[in-house]
Amino acid sequence: MTLVQSTYQQKKLPLPSNTNAWFIWLVIAGIITNATGLFLPILAPDGALYAAISKTMALNGDYVNLFVEGNDWLDKPHFPFWITAFSFKLFGIHSFAYKLPALLFWLGGALYTYAFANKLYNKQTAQWATLIYISIEHLILSNNDVRAEPYLTGLMIGTAYHYYLAYRNNKWKHYIAGSLLLAFAIMTKGIFIACMVMAGFVIHWIIKKEWKQFLNYRWWVSMVLVLVFIMPELITLYVQFDKHPEKLIFGQHNVSGIRFFFWDSQFGRFFNTGPIKGAGDKLFYVHTLIWAFLPWSIILFLLAGSYIKNYKRAITPSGNYICSGISIAGFLVFSLSRFQLPHYLNILYPFFAIIVANWLLNLKNNTLLKTIVYSQNTLFYLLIVACIGLAFFAGLPYKVPAIILLAVLAFALNRLFPGNALQHLIARSFGIIMVVNLFLNTLFYPELFQYQCGNEAARSLNTTGPQDVYMFRDGSSEYSFQFYYKGQIHWIDAQYLNNMQKEIVVYASREKIDQLKNMNYPVHITLELPNFSISRLNGKFLNEVTREQAVDHMVIATIQPGVLARR
């Protein structure tokens, strides 16, 4: 079998018997691997912050106001907090309940990726696109470090799917379903989402010269429906912010939550004119894709290079440009924005997956095919070597059993999917990224979480029973502690200590406690824990030899009344 033959580029050919045989098993393995993140603690700061907000919502029964440390919070819309608070009500307040809804939305994204690719092309494209989607590294990481992106990823591909069926069949049920999912997406991240989704359709209509679509009143009704469906968000913003101009938000009075939602949160960040600013790099997302889209990033760059080189042949009257339109529009918007974070690209990955799958199945260039084979085979072994190297470099436990298991799994993948036929190459690439993430979620991250000391501090205090704990306003927020601690937390200023009437328990940095000791406050440390922000890893921390130099320390301490600080 030649490389070209192995692509099965003729769309109407029946699927090879072994494709269906292993597809479902790989999907199950991929879902299980992604689900292992459910059993890890919530990663700080962002994930723990969102969990703490949802915890407050669930405990107070207040689904209108968003609070952080007792203060009004205006940054993200309500939808993921509503979903998470409902999960807390249903399952209890813990990590699993926080992460489960996000995983289900991500899984919905996999189903919609399959359905959309199947409608656009065929069953085999749908299968390959689904495998690519399930195994994209940053999507797997985001099912551990849960923020808004798993929700948004599933909602965005779902919106595109229903709007595509509306475009093809002109049925109201798909206009309504697409508008509802788009409204949920907007209530998760903001109005920019609608711009990116519709940009794909507009680009497609312009290339196909389907001008009548712009006059189809159902599309305009759909946009009105979106505005109707986002009314819960607008009402809550009005009640919490616009109705109370006296509130101090971002250091200002008269802050409109509705204006922030429609402009400052999205367009303000893009133009860097809003209250939350960033400093952008036009190539930031290019080098982000190198690691975030593993194990498919090399293929994606080859695809992009091929399209740029043959752009005249890439645009044909019979082509479909919705996925590529959304991808290009989204990528350019994010790249030109001054506010950039790696996880912003997650919402484009379902569309990348469909584009890559379709390109591979129709690829006839032997030079590109050979390049893909060599690069994917090289990447296969590099990922194994990287895991082994990380085990030694980071001083992980159970190194020898882990290395043996890695070698056995790599050998098994080569035996199960031998040769260089593209379908087996995809299966091996899929399999090896699952092996890598099982290694990360079962060995690497559990070891690191002992340095996210908010979890450990909360666990220690919870064992002694709920009590009031104080945190200093000028100290670290420690959202993981706020989420996991079951007692009452109060925020104080240091001068409050001069008027204390009873002993208090504080959770603070060792540096803060040393300052209090130097001021002659009677402080007794009961627990000291190493601390590092494990969502921002660096070589100094990862290296077992230098790790102690990279960490700081947090403490639980008691402070007694009766001794005033020196003036």
222: buried, middle or exposed (CB in 10 Å: 19+, 13-18, 0-12)?
buried
The least confident of 137-141, 280-284, 473-477 is 280-284
Task: Give the CA distances from residue 53 to residues 56, 184, 420, 483, 492, in Å, rounded to whole numbers and listed in that order.
Answer: 5, 19, 49, 9, 20
Phi, psi of 509 (to 5 degrees): -75, 155
Q: What are the tens digits of pLDDT across the range 531-565? A: 999 999 999 999 999 999 999 999 999 998 755 54
Domain boundaries, the chain: 17-361, 366-450, 452-559
pLDDT above 90 (res 252)? no
The least confident of 3-17, 232-246, 294-308 is 3-17
DSSP state string for 158-214:
HHHHHHHHHHHH--HHHHHHHHHHHHHHHHHH-THHHHHHHHHHHHHHHHHT-THHH
- Rounded to an integer, the average pLDDT of 263-289 is 70
Closest by CA position to 324, among listed 339, 346, 293, 303: 303
Closest by CA position to 99, among listed 51, 33, 64: 51
Long-range pairs, 512-516, Cβ under 8 A, ≥24: 512/472, 512/475, 513/555, 513/557, 516/559, 516/565
Strand 489-492 and strand 469-472: pairing?
parallel
DSSP state string for 8-63:
--STTSPPPHHHHHHHHHHHHHHHHHHHGGGGSPPPTTHHHHHHHHHHHHHHHT-S
pLDDT of residue 216: 94
With beta carbons less than 8 A apart as the criterion, state whether 67 and 115 touch.
no
pLDDT band at 121 (very low <50, low <70, confident <90, very high): very high
- Rounded to an integer, the average pLDDT of 279-300 is 87
465 token code pair:
């029973």
